[in-house]
Structure 1
């Protein structure tokens, strides 16, 4: 898997480096030449756009790995073709989060001249709440990515041109079927709105963390999704080894 991951980074390194340079230049330009509110809004949109680009690159990397004849010649297992793009996307996403956190710290400390800890206290959230949100979001992304990988493998199992359409249909069927099963087996799927409670006060909107990540219902939902994810990965490996045409 390390071999495949090394090839993935080597192939995408120039694109990643160019995107990083463009992001840094754009953020510096926004800080110097834009108003405070406009700069913050466009800056956040820039980070979101880069995150989406990284996710798309991860999906394209997986598709290339399972359909490319040269990549099939590498001495790696079928599991590596699934894990390598996931690790690639996770490392790139983690790097983007670190850059964003560093940028936020510099902006709050130097431009707003506020203490980072004080700013977190003013938001009404604790550090553990932010970590919980990040972990919850990361797991949702991983679970959805596993479904997308399986859908791509299903599409690759058909030779004719309808393969991509079959993959799209398979994705929506899997999402709805798994959501229905989860609602039956567990107490119900949590929505992101249940992570925090929003209340309107005279001074503005107050945010209170519900700590939903540590509740029994959420743990039951996560355990169910972990079991399902293992089954989906097994099905993906089987299709890649037996059905997908290179």
Structure 2
């Protein structure tokens, strides 16, 4: 797995470094620019979103390349190593974007709005821990959802895999969202469920909404459901890769 990860990093080093360098230069240019703060923040957000899209597409292409080249590898590689290597690769790329974007965000919060930063720092440690764990799990779950779609599409057909994969993704994501909403009444579009916030216009304070017992049980149910799905995705990916190995 480590060798495969190193190979992926070396093969895509130029792209990764170029995107990070351009993003840093863009943020520095906006920080030093005399433009309005709103314009600066908007440009930086767009730049970070563009970098995130590039990294996401690159990560999916890396996983796709690895499972396509199964039959060409001279040395045996554990089946799930393709998943772990691509997963760590994607997480490292995501962390680099968080660090770069977080640095710019911290500067603007300290420079223009200390109130929001102060409110955030006053959140209890368990809230930060819950948000961090949920962010990590959501990222991993999202990657696995894309990986299983790619693996299934490559197993179904050799030509037109993109369109088959797109159809599988739409059907699978819609089915999962419908089941999750049916069983737990959870909003699948909500990024964080362990803690929600609202803005009090009268005081200018961002307050955290308390998590009720019913909401807590729904959150745990939704988390368990997605955890089981993640395990199922791993088994499906393993089966698809082994099928390609047997067919070579």
With the length of structure 1 as denominator, give the TM-score of the two structures: 0.82
Match of 1:132 in 2: 130
1:17 aligned to 2:14? no
Q: After superposition, give the CA deviation of every residue in 1:38-71 in whole Å (9 maximum; x if it has no partner).
A: 1112112212221222111111110010112576
Determine the structure 2 residue equivalent to 1:39.
40
Segment of structure 1 superposing worse, 28-37 or 127-136: 127-136
Equivalent residues in 2 for 1:129-208, closer than 5 Å: 129-184=127-182, 186-191=183-188, 192=190, 195-198=195-198, 201-203=201-203, 206-208=206-208
CA RMSD after TM alignment: 3.0
Q: From the superposition, tell whether residues 36 and 179 of structure 1 become closer, same or farther in structure 2 (CA, over 3 Å).
A: closer
Cα distance in 2 for residues equivalent to 1:237 and 1:61: 17
Match of residue 219 from structure 1 = 220
Question: After superposition, what is the alpha-carbon deviation per residue over 1:164-206, rounded to whole angstroms, capped at 9, x for unaligned?
Answer: 322222222222223333345x433244176424355335574
Query: Which whole-Å CA distance do the structure 1 matches of 2:164 and 2:4 have between them?
Result: 28
Structure 2 gaps, min length 5: none
Are the aligned partners of 2:59 and 2:89 in contact in 1 as well (CA < 8 Å)? yes
What residue ranges of structure 1 are gaps of 5+ in the alignment?
Answer: none
User: Could you tell me the TM-score, scaled by structure 2's length?
Assistant: 0.82
Residue pair 2:70, 2:244 contacting (<8 A) in 1 also = no
How far is 1:123 from its partner?
Answer: 5.5
Instruction: Report the number of matched residues.
Output: 240
Cα offsets for 1:125-156 (capped at 9, x unmatched): 62644553343233223222212111111211
Q: Distance in 1 between matches of 2:220 and 2:74?
A: 40
Give the direction of change, closer, same or farther, for the CA distance of 1:158–1:224 in structure 2 (3 Å limit): closer
Q: Deviations over 1:1-52 (max 9, x none)?
A: 1110110111111111111111111111111123222111211221222122
Q: Is the 8 A contact 1:154 1:167 kept in 2?
A: yes
